[in-house]
Amino acid sequence: MVANSSKDTAAESEPLRSLESTKPDLLTLAAITIVATAITNFLHEGLGHGGMCIATGGKPLALSTVHFACSAEPRLVAAGGTLANLIFGAIFWVAMRTVKRAAPWRYFFWLLMTFNLFEAGGYFLFSGIGNIGDWTAVVTGWQPAWAWRLGLVGLGTVTYFILFVPLCLRELRPFLGKDAKIRVRRAWRLTLVPYFVSGILSTVAGAFNPVGPLLILISAAAASFGGHSGLAWMPNLLHGPRVPSTQLQMPQIKRSWGWVIAAVILAILFIAGLGPGVKFHSA
């Protein structure tokens, strides 16, 4: 009886080892992350702040990975980055759900959705707690100041922890498989790689910003390592029945040299081009 039991256990564990061996390719995950990071940054700084600058009659002065300078600084320009993140986060959610077979593209759109939504919710929290950043500029002068800061903290808490993190985790399920023993380990690979790669890339590019070293801390590092922090802990929520598996299951992401080459090119442009900034007009 003991021998048969051991054979049964070995037979049951064999499919698990087979599934565990089909891991997503880390180099391709990193490459997709680099592309998604650069796009998300441009959506926030360029289309968000820059687009609102032009829409409100301002003149664009400079663009870098950590700031956008406008001839006028109305509240709408400061809010533009987060508003763009929310809009494009929703767009990428729709785009992601249309992809049923191509795993790298679905993961790419998942990352774009996650980065944009996390940055939006994170900025509310960041400005409310630290009294610095985009939304501090939006509410400056509004009284009572403590109530507006408390409101930002509340808004950030609800959007980030109650809405965005659970949504993004549930949309990751097609990559995780159905076996409870594997899905958590697989989730860690799919979330920690973008967390660290995006944070390092943003911080390195931010180090070249022309405004000053303070922006490395309050924009580059805070928006990436801080704003994306949900990626560093949300797989813990997979333990237990709260996030059940889904019928749709994607194939694992394999090595793609196309994504790797695109990431190398974009990383160079991001760090060497947008890092030091691009000037459009003099003030």
Does 7 reside within a domain?
no
Does 34 reside within a domain?
yes
- The pLDDT tens digits for 134-166 are 888 888 888 998 899 999 999 999 999 999 999
- pLDDT at residue 217 in the model: 61
- pLDDT at residue 223 in the model: 76
Q: Measured over all CA atoms, what is the biggest interatomic distance in the chain, rounded to whole angstroms?
A: 84
Does 53 reside within a domain?
yes
Query: Within 131-212, where are the H helices?
Result: 134-139, 145-157, 165-172, 180-206
Does 67 reside within a domain?
yes
Number of domains in the chain: 1
Tell me which residues of the chain have a pLDDT lower than 50. 1-3, 5-19
Decide: 282 and 61 in contact? Cβ < 8 Å. Answer: yes
Rounded CA-CA distance 18/26 in Å is 18
**Residue ranges making up the domain that contains 194:** 24-279
Does 5 reside within a domain?
no
Computed on alpha carbons and rounded to an integer, the radius of gyration of the chain in Å comes to: 21
pTM of the entire predicted model? 0.90
Does 84 reside within a domain?
yes
The residue type found at 91 is I
- Which residue, among 72, 157, 92, 93, has the nearest Cα to 123 in the 3D structure? 157
Residues found in the chain: 283
- pLDDT at residue 219 in the model: 66
Does 16 reside within a domain?
no
Does 19 reside within a domain?
no
